[in-house]
Amino acid sequence: MGRTEQDDNVLLDALRELNGWVADDGRLSRSLPLDDSQHAELAEQIKIFADTLGVRPDVRRTDEATLIVLAREGGFSLTDVTFAGRVETAYITIAGDLAAEETHLSKGRFRWLRRGE
């Protein structure tokens, strides 16, 4: 069973809450300015989130940033957007003021994406 227009609207609404994430041609991606130690810390968190949600992101270190890409046949899903929200929350925690300045977000913005709260 395919996605409906309503499903797509829910995805787009959720994606709007994720500043900096780009949806393009069935891919969901984000480049995060991090140093090497911050990248390592975020990569560990990403492994946990990916295993929990059953997604397989491509995580790469570039010049001074971490690039995260989720791509799947048929486009990204609500699970992918949930994963992105968890990554964004971890990024804000790890990068601190830099992340808040870069994303213009407060630390509590993505609480709605966490389980059990």
**Tens-place pLDDT, residues 19-35:** 788 888 888 999 999 99
| 69 burial level (CB within 10 Å; 0-12, 13-18, 19+) | middle
DSSP 37-69: HHHHHHHHHHHHHHHHHT---EEEE-SSEEEEE
Q: What is the pLDDT of residue 69?
A: 95
With residue 100 as reference, give the H or E element that holds it. helix 97-103
User: % helix / strand / coil in the chain, to the nearest 5?
Assistant: 50, 20, 30
Q: What is the pLDDT of residue 2?
A: 60
Task: State the pLDDT at residue 114.
Answer: 35
Predicted local distance difference test score (pLDDT) of residue 15: 76
Give pTM, 2 decimals: 0.77
Low-confidence ranges of the chain (pLDDT < 70): 1-8, 100-117
Domain 3-104 in CATH 3.30.1360.20? The answer is yes
Give CA angle at 22 (16, 26), nearest 5°: 105
